[in-house]
Amino acid sequence: ITVAHQTNLLKQLNQQRRQELFCDCSVLVEGQLFRAHRNVLFASSGYFRMLLSQGPPPSVNATFDAFSPETFTVILDFIYSGQLDLSSHNVIEVMSAASYLQMNNVISYCKNFIKSSLDISAKDEDSDRCLSLSETCSFTSAAGEESSEQQQQQQQQQQQGSVSPPPALWTRDNSRSQSGFMGKDADQEVSLSSIKTNPNSPANELGADVDDYHDPHDPLYTLPRSERRRSRGGTKRKASNSIRANQQEDLEIQDASTQKAEKAEELYASLPQIVGVIGHFNKDPNPSMRFKCPFCTHTVKRKADLKRHLRCHTGERPYPCQACNKRFTRLEHLRSHFETIHQARKLVCRKCKCQVTEETGHVVCEGTRRYRMCAVCIQEVGCDSIPMDGLDPASDEPALLLGVDGEEEGDGKRTWMVTDDDDELAEDSGADLIIQQVDDSDEELQ
């Protein structure tokens, strides 16, 4: 009876809105006028609550340029129907608008939508790397009450008994810092049981706060770390498995990476719709435009920086190291990794840490890994070194080194490789092998 009553009441209000009956509030979005009921907006949005609390109602209550009329239509329809019409094309802007309007429930639906779309939720489940899109991408359009209910069920399942966003959330003043708002959200997120099994989910990252960004307890922060742990764990497993198993794993990883990259591209495609945040909305007193991450409260000055930042949410790693298959979010990180790990660029003796030169620092190969040792240490250890010119990046071919043992990180055993790899290195040249951004779909497996 209660539900029926609520549903009926909402229908009545929506009908009144459509007929512009008793509408006492006007919202101007990029020149388009929306009519609504003040009390409904007040009850649904922290932003409107703040706005409408500030004294006598003006004729036009709010003007927005931060999101499009289409986006506000989606938001308003949700307020009056409980149905959120999400698609891959609008989810980013809806989420950003919801963040602006302080509508946590909408944010939650959006993040679930994105999470499902990105298929990150399964990323760290059980066996680290068994990613298959078919398992999770069940989230289609959220339009329709049934879908909406599914979302809610999905959310409730994730929360496993934790309460829905408390009304108290809306009582926060807009003048509060972002951390206040999102911090609260983060608290809720932390309480989610899903966070334990799925620390990498963007849903868990959503509430991350700028100030807490480097907090090790911040679920957002765990993403790259767990990613790394995953990588290392996988590497260690590799050591005990056959090369064929390695290739199978690589296939799976790259398959997942491909899907992730595609989804990320979808996100990036909608980037122009990611609204800038006016200065007063963040800590910058300068009212300049900033770009807000839809997954967390982080804001950046440039869209390119936002795109870069988004990779830490999407898990996209477009730069694979051809020597060890480790993937990186940035070319510079790949280059740095490659030079350090596979090219022995550091002119320091690995053993005694003394300074060496290109000439005095003998290069030692350990799997795909290379480093330098001084003459004294190399004698002590009793291993040979490879000629210096084998390190020329232009003639280096790290991928071939995979055949040695496919191992990048040390697996505990110190096998001092005596490698005369000039021939191997010369087999396939091209520095672009090192720094090439790989489209996974075309990526040639080794």
Binding site for DNA (CB under 7 A): 213-216, 221, 223-225, 227-229, 231-232, 298, 300-305, 307-309, 311-312, 326, 328-333, 335-337, 340-341, 346, 348, 353, 371, 410, 412, 435, 437
Alpha carbon distance 66, 274 (integer Å): 9
**With respect to DNA, which residue has the nearer C-beta, 237 or 346?**
346
Complex with DNA: residue 274 or 425, whichever CB lies closer: 274
* Choice between 18 and 228, CB closer to DNA: 228
For residues 36 and 49, is the Cβ–Cβ distance under 8 A? no
How far apart CA 295 and CA 92 sit, in angstroms, is 9
Q: Which is nearer to DNA, 46 or 294 (CB)?
A: 294
Minimum CB distance to DNA smaller for 50 or for 277: 277
CA distance 334 to 46: 43
Are 120 and 317 contacting, i.e. CB atoms less than 8 angstroms apart? no
Contacts 24+ apart (CB under 8 A), 261-265: 261/316, 261/318, 261/439, 261/440, 263/117, 263/118, 263/119, 263/314, 264/118, 264/310, 264/311, 264/314, 264/316
**Total number of residues shown for the chain:** 446
Q: At what angle do helices 69-81 and 91-100 cross, to 10 degrees?
A: 70
Cβ atoms of 329 and 373 closer than 8 Å: no
Nearest distance, CB of residue 446 and DNA, angstroms: 18
Q: What is the DSSP string of 162-219?
A: PPPPPGGGGGS-TTS-HHHHHHHHHHHHHH-THHHH-TT-HHHHTT--STTTT-TT-T
Smallest distance, DNA to C-beta of residue 197, A? 17
Q: Of 40 and 349, which CB lies nearer to DNA in the complex structure?
A: 349
Q: Which is nearer to DNA, 18 or 225 (CB)?
A: 225
- At its nearest, how many Å lie between DNA and the CB of residue 58? 35
C-beta of residue 319 within 8 angstroms of C-beta of residue 117: no
Q: What is the smallest separation between the CB atom of 293 and DNA, expressed in angstroms?
A: 7
**CB 178 to DNA: min, Å:** 13
Q: Which is nearer to DNA, 41 or 373 (CB)?
A: 373
Q: Residue 352 CB, nearest distance to DNA (Å)?
A: 11
Nearer to DNA among residue 41 and residue 321 (C-beta): 321
At residue 355, φ and ψ (nearest 5 deg) are -70, 135
Whether 374 and 410 have beta carbons less than 8 Å apart is answered as: no
CB of 289 to DNA, least distance (A): 12
Please, is 72 exposed, middle or buried when counting C-beta atoms within 10 Å of its C-beta (0-12, 13-18, 19+)? buried
The pairing of strands 62-64 and 25-29 is: parallel
Q: Minimal distance in Å, beta carbon 124 to DNA?
A: 13
Minimum Å gap between C-beta 225 and DNA is 4
Query: 349 near 361, Cβ under 8 Å?
Result: yes
- Cβ-based nearer residue to DNA, 89 or 301: 301
| Least CB distance to DNA at residue 308 (A) | 6
For residue 198, CA distances in Å to 298, 373, 438 come to 21, 42, 27
* Cα–Cα distance for residue pair 174/62, rounded to 1 Å: 14
| Relative orientation angle of helices 104-118 and 145-159, to the nearest 10 degrees | 90
Nearer to DNA, 228 or 280 (CB): 228
Output the CA–CA distances (angstroms, integers) from residue 278 to 41, 102, 288, in the order listed: 22, 15, 6
In the complex, the smallest distance separating the C-beta of residue 341 from DNA, rounded to whole angstroms, is 5
Please report how close the Cβ of residue 300 comes to DNA at its closest, in angstroms: 4
Task: Give strand pairing partners of 25.
Answer: 36
DSSP 8-state class, residue 441: G
Choice between 108 and 200, CB closer to DNA: 200
